[in-house]
Every structure is written in structure tokens, then in C-alpha cells.
Chain A
Amino acid sequence: MNSSADFERRQRFERIVTAFHAALYRYAAWLCRDPDIAEVVLQESLLRAWKSFDALREDDAAKQWLLTIVRRENARYFERKKLEMVDIDELSPSQAAMIAVSSDPELDEMREAIYRLEDDYREPLVLQVLMGYSTKEIADLMGINPGAVLTRLHRARNKLRQTIDTAGCGTVARDSG
């Protein structure tokens, strides 16, 4: 590849990564629940994205493309490391910092409640609330059907409501389901 083409490729890559960096980082952090690991996953994802950057034809598709790479890289990371389950009572400083914002106890409680959600419930919630993804987009990214996405989102919110209600700071009434 000549230097001019390489320069343009780098420019385009950096522009896209900069635009979506916050979303990618937060997605990775909530997937693995550890900012330090999220950093590693993100770095490896960006390197992988760079190597196959020519596969991205349309910039409009960049966010979904990058999120898919982060998702796969996260799975690879945990497959390689075979990490133990995180014990909420034995968090590393990095993990603890993710859910502790001492100036706002209600925010802390909600973060901890989300942190405790099963992966299957937490991920679609992040994609819907944080990324603004539709049910279909979430289904496509996660490789499940839209009905399963809706069920998981419904259960995720119910679990959060129950947790927050139990903690005594929530205002949402409980219902069945």
C-alpha cells in the first residue's frame, strides 16, 4: 500500500474510532465488568479492526461493526483466560471503582444492581439504553431472536426494580412478570 493511501486509511480509522470510543469502552466495560480488562479488550479489538478495516465499506455501519468486534474479542479474552466468576465481595480496585461513585449513593446502588445482573440480561440493556439500539439491532448483534431480546430486557428491568425497591430508594412499583 502506498504512503498516501496508508495515510488516508489511518485518518479514516482514527476518525471513526474517536467518534465511537466512549461507546466502545462502556460496552466493553459492562461486558467484562472490569475497566482494566475492558482496556485490554478494546486495544485488541482496535488492532483487529485495523487489520480488517478494508472490510468496512460504509462508515454508517462502523458502530455496529466495531461493537461486534469488541463483543467477539471479549469472548475470546474470557475463553483464553478462563476467568473465575467475579465475587462482588472481593472486587479488585478497578472493578470496585466501576460501581462506586461516593457522591451519589443512588447511582452507586443502580450501578451495583446492573453489575450483578446476569450477562444475558445486562448486555441487551446496555445496547438498548446506552446505544439506543432497536430490538432487531440487538438481536442481530447478539445472534438471538427478537422475542428473546424482549424477554431478557423485560426481566432485566424487573430485576433492577426489585433490587432498587429492596434497597429502599426506588420509586417504581412492582408488578408481576
Chain B
Amino acid sequence: MNCEQYRQAIAADPSESFDGGKTHAANCDACSGYRQELRSLDEQIARALAIDVRGLDLPGLPPIDDADRGSAGFLEQKSRRTSVFSPPVWAGIAAGLVVAVLLVIGFPGGDVSPSLAEQVIAHLDYEQESRRVTAVPVSARRLGDVVGSEVAGMDHDIGLITYAMSCVINGRTVPHLVIQGRSGPVTLILLPDETIEKSIGLSGNNVHGVILPVGNGSVAIIGEREEQLTEINRIGRKVADTVEWKI
């Protein structure tokens, strides 16, 4: 094995499991040094690949009937059923279901329907990671997918939009957006099917805001506690002025 062959081989396999590698490196200082550099590179690569892992969230595991076991046809059918939702909708629905369960657990007897305000706040608690301070906007494509599917029109120039997800609130799939406000992230939830007569105040864990009536629908605007309510209302009015519900 010559130096060129060794370097080709070790770049593909730094563990040096190939034949003749160790012998060559033992007799060639330059290649031995090269091996060391590559292993150092691999340590960097390994650190970079070890991204943070989100908590394990097992899907609901349906009972398995004998007829289902190993049935590829069933699996394909299931796959087709689930694939009608885009990933934001899928994840949002999952979040909505969890919130619904949490709300039911949180209410004595489980037979009292939570109010719209309670559902909005519970959803924010569930999707806390959406309220990140960041300067990275969501792509126009993502925004179009989320907003366009439920709302006829909205001026996207309402601020730096850093989060867009289709979520389930009160049994309906709605756009959940986050823009960067003066004192942190501000959440906007567009509620085209929720008609309210007057504004509803919102208060939750370190957040507060309002649900504003907008035509036949409404918009929830929630900011961090430090965000002035006047600023939250200003953002809400700006959104309300530009949003058009689907008929």
C-alpha cells in the first residue's frame, strides 16, 4: 500500500479496518500524522451530528388484530389516510388533540367545554417552542401553505414572521403564526370560524393578550408579559385590517 492508496482508504474509513493500513502508518510519519488529523476531523463531525434530541412521543398504537399483522395492504391504506395532511397540519392536529386531552383532564368531571380563551392559552403552553426569539423568518412557501389553506388573504408585511403552523383550536384547523414584537415573540392565531361579539382578554403563564372580533371571525394576539397591551392591540388591529376570511 502506498501513501496515495492509504490516504484514499483512511478518508473513507478512519478506524483503519482495511488491510495493510496499520503497517503503512507505522512506517510513514506523514501518513500517521494525516490519520491523526482525520480522526480529529471525525471527532468534530461526530459532535456536529449529535444534535439535540426531542423527547420521545410515541404515536397511539392501535390494537393489532391477527388480520392486520404483516399486512402490507393495511399499512399502505393507513399511510394514504394519514398523508392527506401536510406536516404542519399533521403536527398541529396532534398538538390540538393533546391540548384537548389536557383540557378535559383539567376540568372536573370532564364534561365542561373549555372556553375559546382557555383553548388558545392551553395551545400556547403546549407549543412553547414556537415562542422563540429569532431573526430567521419562515419561508414564503411555508407561510403560504399555512395561511393560504384557511384564510383568503392577509398582508404578510405585518412584521417578522418566524413561525407558521396549522394547528387545531376548538376542533378547527387554523393558522398559528409568531412575529417578533418589541419585547419578544407575539403569537397570532387566526380564527376564521370563531365569531365573538367583543374582545376577550387572555392571560396565561407569562403571557397575556386579547382575542379581537374581526368580521365573522376573530384573531388572538398573545405576547410576553413584558409586552405592552397597547402594542398587542396595535398588532392585532394591523392584522385585522389586512385579513380576509374565506366565504
Contact = CB atoms under 8 A, between A and B. Distances in A.
A70 interface: no
Contacts of A46: 58-59
Interface residues of A, number: 73
Residue among B4, B9, B136 having the largest count of chain A Cβ atoms under 10 Å: B136
B53 A26 contact: yes
Contacts of A90: 139
B41 interface: yes
B47 A107 contact: yes
A170 B37 CA distance: 10
A173 interface: yes
B64 interface: yes
B87 A40 contact: yes
Contacts of B88: 36
Interface in A66-110: 76-77, 80-81, 84, 87, 90-93, 96-98, 106-107, 110
A25 B76 CA distance: 23
B132 A93 contact: yes
B53 A25 contact: yes
B41 A161 contact: yes
A25 to B, nearest CB: 5
A103 B93 CA distance: 34
Interface in B121-164: 132, 134, 136, 138-139, 141-142, 162-163
B228 interface: no
B65 A52 contact: no
Interface string B70-86: 11001100110011001
B163 A84 contact: no
Contact of A9 (B44, B53, B64, B66): B64
A114 B48 contact: yes
A13 B59 CA distance: 12
Interface string A13-50: 11001100110011001100001110110011011101
9 contacts: A17-B58, A25-B54, A36-B87, A87-B139, A93-B134, A130-B46, A135-B12, A157-B11, A157-B42
Interface of A: 1, 6, 9-10, 13-14, 17-18, 21-22, 25-26, 29-30, 35-37, 39-40, 43-44, 46-48, 50-55, 76-77, 80-81, 84, 87, 90-93, 96-98, 106-107, 110-111, 113-114, 125-126, 128-130, 134-135, 149-151, 153-154, 157-158, 160-161, 164, 170-173, 175-177
